[in-house]
Amino acid sequence: MLGFGGEREAVSKVGLTAADLAAARRREPAAVTRIYTAYAPALFRFFMAAVSDRHQAEDLTGTTFVSAIEGLPRFRGPVEALGGWLFQIARHDLYDFRRKQGRSRTEPLEENLNEATAATGGDDPEDLAIERLEGSRVLAAMRQLSDDQREVLLLRMAGGLTAPEVAAILGKTTGAVKALQHRGLASLARVLGLRSPQQPPERPYPSTDPDRLTSQEEEER
């Protein structure tokens, strides 16, 4: 037996209550800090996995949290729904970021590298690039997934949200989310070279059953 879902438990361990939520709406520092402590690490992981840049992920985390705290008086759900609401904001901010990034792609690379150097206190850009490539094997594999699959897996695994919560954020059915996470993990396993001991080496997971194909394989067919 294996179990995942530590993110959810970690959040619940913080012990956020309705009183915390009400106090955070009034910007009471202790309550705001509790909410930040509970969700900021997950938000950062979500952004980091999505943009693969620490500084941008940190900025996005801060921006999302500021937006969330400022918009907290408008949040009417129970404290249990706070995570889903936060990641809805995070997803929106991520789209905004990508749209802006798409507009400013003409910036010269050297300028970006120099900026990165200045931001990291003088590290060599080459070192930064190597550092980024190392340890990102799984995240690189995640980029092989379709956008839907990657988004579902990040919200589930990085955000610690349940399938129904992810379904609510994405506007999909829970069944569709479960199917996407299944296909996404299957694709990830295939890209990472993971397979069941019973499977022959030349036929990595999944099987040839059309119902079990990944979306990429479906596209290839």
Partner 1 sequence: MPGSKPNRLHDELDALLDGRPVELTDELAPLAEAANELRVELAGLRLDPEAADRHLERVLHGSAPVVRLPVRGQASGWEVRRRVVAVALAAALVLAPATIASAAALPGQAMYPFKLAIEQIRIASVQWSPPREAGERTRVAQERLEELNRLVELKMFNQIATAVSALDKAVLDAQAAVSEAKQEGQPVPALAATLDNLKTVGGQTLANVVATVSDPSLLPEGTRNAIRAAVAQTQVVVTPDRDIEYAGPPPNPPTPTTDAKPGGGSDPTSPPAAPTTAPQPPETTQAPAPTTTEPPPTSPPTTDPPPTTEETTPPASGGGGDAGSGADERAPTEQAPPTTLPAP
Q: Which residues bind partner 1 (CB under 8 A)?
A: 1-6, 8-9, 25-27, 29, 32-33, 36, 40-41, 44-45, 48-49, 54, 57-58, 61-62, 65-66, 69-70, 73, 135-139, 142, 153, 156-158, 162-163, 175, 178-179, 181-182, 185-186, 188-189, 192, 194-199, 205, 211-212
Is residue 184 within 8 Å of 194, Cβ to Cβ? no
Closer to partner 1 by CB, 86 or 186: give it.
186
Closer to partner 1 by CB, 15 or 135: give it.
135
Closer to partner 1 by CB, 54 or 172: give it.
54
**CB of 6: closest distance to partner 1 in angstroms?**
7
Closer to partner 1 by CB, 8 or 172: give it.
8
Closer to partner 1 by CB, 36 or 103: give it.
36
Is residue 185 within 8 Å of 152, Cβ to Cβ? no
102: Cβ contacts below 8 Å, ≥ 6 apart: none
194: Cβ contacts below 8 Å, ≥ 6 apart: 204, 205
**CB of 50: closest distance to partner 1 in angstroms?**
11
Report the alpha-carbon distance of residue 57 to residue 34 in Å, rounded: 20
**CB of 36: closest distance to partner 1 in angstroms?**
6
**CB of 110: closest distance to partner 1 in angstroms?**
26
Closest by alpha carbon to 40, among 20, 57, 21?
57
**CB of 99: closest distance to partner 1 in angstroms?**
23
**CB of 80: closest distance to partner 1 in angstroms?**
15
Closer to partner 1 by CB, 8 or 125: give it.
8
Buried/exposed code over 153-189 (b: 16+ C-beta within 10 A; e: otherwise): bbbbbbbbbbbebbbbbbebeeebbbbbbebbbbbbb
Is residue 137 within 8 Å of 192, Cβ to Cβ? yes
